[in-house]
Amino acid sequence: MSLSIDIIPISDTLDMYGEPEPSSAYSLAGHVSVSVSSPHSMFERRRTARILLHSITLTFEGQAEIINEHTGYAAARLCSVTREIAPSEPVEMTNEGHEDSDEPCVWNVVFDLPVPGWLPPSSLYGREAVGVRYSLFAEAKFSHVGESQSSTWSLATLCSPFRSRVKTQDARKDIQLRRFICCSEDILGTSTLQQTVTYLVNASVAPRPGSDLSRFPAEVLSKLQVLASVPEYVDMERNELPLVLRMRTKDLEAEECKRIQVTSVSANVVQMERYRTRVPSDYWRRFPIPPPAKQPPHMPLLDPHPISNVYEVGLGINCCEDNASRSFSLLPRGVSGVHSLGENNYPFANDADAASPESATWYTLESCVPFVHQAPDDKAEDWAGPAVLRPSVNSPLVNVVHEVAIELTCTYTLPGTEKVVSERLAFGIPIRFAHFAPDPQRRCITPPPEHTPRVSAREGSPTPSLPAPMPYAPNLPPYSHLFDRNGDRKIDYSTPLPLYTPRSPYASSSSLELDVGGDETQPLLSTPLVS
């Protein structure tokens, strides 16, 4: 007599939307299949299997692991949700009448687990198959009913009084967690364009010792203002991102404004990864991660990497670094990212003539910065694995951030001479890469501006195709967006109610319908009502 179990979720993927939110939760549903069959026997007829099922415990666990030559091995438990899904009383299962069938008798036990909505997406890092992973674990406890003892003396017979009659059967199922960003929508469901974020950059220059007349004057450079606008999120499926730069001077004399040129601008997409062996304190404060007492090695993971056993016994490589990081450019091969703006380019010549600093004209540069999904200068594999584009994420052991590294080259004609000196303004604008919710009926990607000149060093970039539709509605909001913590439904006061329109007293006819319990609604009265 044998018993086996299998975890069958409704979907192998769990999709979450928006930013990580500790107050939200998602549902992971499915069923655990319990199969009972009679074993084959060449000498006797198959016996009826009678199993007494005591319990079925289902656990959803998330874990984060890293392995590299700088930090060694480190692990953290992200979450652990356990539920008893079997009845409280033991249940007898038997295949009576189906002993000779090749198909087992199957019972399905349904489950619906709440999963925290702040979890980072599934991902793998480094050269080993480690990273952020999620799995379902099921354990069934059962015993055989009327199990007869063999009359033959053997070592198993002597040890049978010391063996537990309750047996266990385990099963595991990997779950892939994905995070998506959706377009903002109003109460009527109309999608809006992706928003942009603008950063103000003040060109501050450190004071130089003494007076260096051959350098760009620091007091002039400090009065140059730069506004950089980038999308709030960059779609992982795209190959370029829009960038808008606006520049002007503030409180600078007219003669000084006429001496400044902007000769070139460069933009580069940079990805920075940081690996650490300890969960930072701010992560403990932001998210309800299990306490240190429930973290490895105090409480081992249910499915750790095999190398964890080596480090637990002290045979792993002793690494003295708690943190390790790397960064690389995502510009396509052969693209420098530098765009020349020509000679005799004095965009700030009329700034001092404006009535007020606020009315000064902004010098605007619009560009589309290309990027690739794997760094072209990537070697075979370094200590952190291949240099591929990843979504911006903040997990307990790995941080992935992105920025647009911008350099502006400005020149200045020294007073009383024809000598021209130059200075480079370098700054980084943070950007966030994310997967956009696949929905063929809505475009969540910001289209490039129409009828505007585009400064780009690469032409003929392919237009990204729409992702495949999902099997269910992808834009369902989490619970916290619809209800307050006390369960009251949130009311959107930004959309006014429609104006009241009185019913016309000259309505000629009306009809009533009654549900009579069939598949269709039968009309009860369809003739005009006469008052």
Q: What is the pLDDT of residue 364?
A: 92
Residue type, 504: S
Q: Quick one: average pLDDT of 489-498?
A: 71
Rounded to the nearest 10 degrees, how much is the dihedral formed by the CA atoms of 114, 116, 119, 122? 0
* CATH code for residues 2-180: 2.60.40.640
Q: What is the pLDDT of residue 126?
A: 82
pLDDT band at 509 (very low <50, low <70, confident <90, very high): very low
The 10s digit of each residue's pLDDT in 141-171 is 999 886 544 444 445 444 544 445 889 999 9
- Residue 389: helix, strand or coil by DSSP? coil
| Sign of the torsion formed by the C-alpha atoms of 75, 80, 86 and 89 | positive
Q: Which residue has the higher pLDDT, 236 or 443?
A: 236
Q: Which residue has the higher pLDDT, 80 or 501?
A: 80
Q: What is the domain partition of the chain in residue ranges?
A: 2-180, 196-277+324-469
| β-strands 2-9, 25-37 pairing | antiparallel
- Residue 294: helix, strand or coil by DSSP? helix
**Tokens coding 325:** 């990081």
For 380-398, b where at least 16 C-beta lie within 10 A, e where not — what string?
Answer: eeeebbebebbbbbbbbbb
Q: Which residue has the higher pLDDT, 216 or 442?
A: 216
The 10s digit of each residue's pLDDT in 402-435 is 999 999 988 988 888 888 888 888 899 999 999 9
CB atoms within 10 A of CB 227: 15
Q: Quick one: average pLDDT of 509-531?
A: 36
Q: What is the pLDDT of residue 15?
A: 93
The 10s digit of each residue's pLDDT in 61-117 is 999 999 888 888 899 999 999 999 988 889 888 878 777 777 888 999 999 999 999
Q: What is the pLDDT of residue 244?
A: 94
The 10s digit of each residue's pLDDT in 302-333 is 999 888 877 776 666 666 678 899 999 999 98
Asked if the model's pLDDT at residue 507 lies above 50, the reply is: no
pTM (2 d.p.): 0.75
What is the Cβ-side half-sphere exposure of residue 414, based on CA atoms within 13 angstroms? 12
Q: What is the pLDDT of residue 345?
A: 82
Q: Which residue has the higher pLDDT, 446 or 254?
A: 254
Q: How far from 84 is each of 54, 87, 92, 235, 302, CA to CA, in Å?
A: 11, 8, 17, 40, 17
The 10s digit of each residue's pLDDT in 19-52 is 999 988 999 999 999 998 877 665 566 778 888 9
For 476-494, b where at least 16 C-beta lie within 10 A, e where not — what string?
Answer: eebebeeeeeeeeeeeeee
Q: What is the pLDDT of residue 326?
A: 92
Q: What is the pLDDT of residue 444?
A: 39
Query: To the nearest whole number, what is the mean pLDDT of the chain?
Result: 78
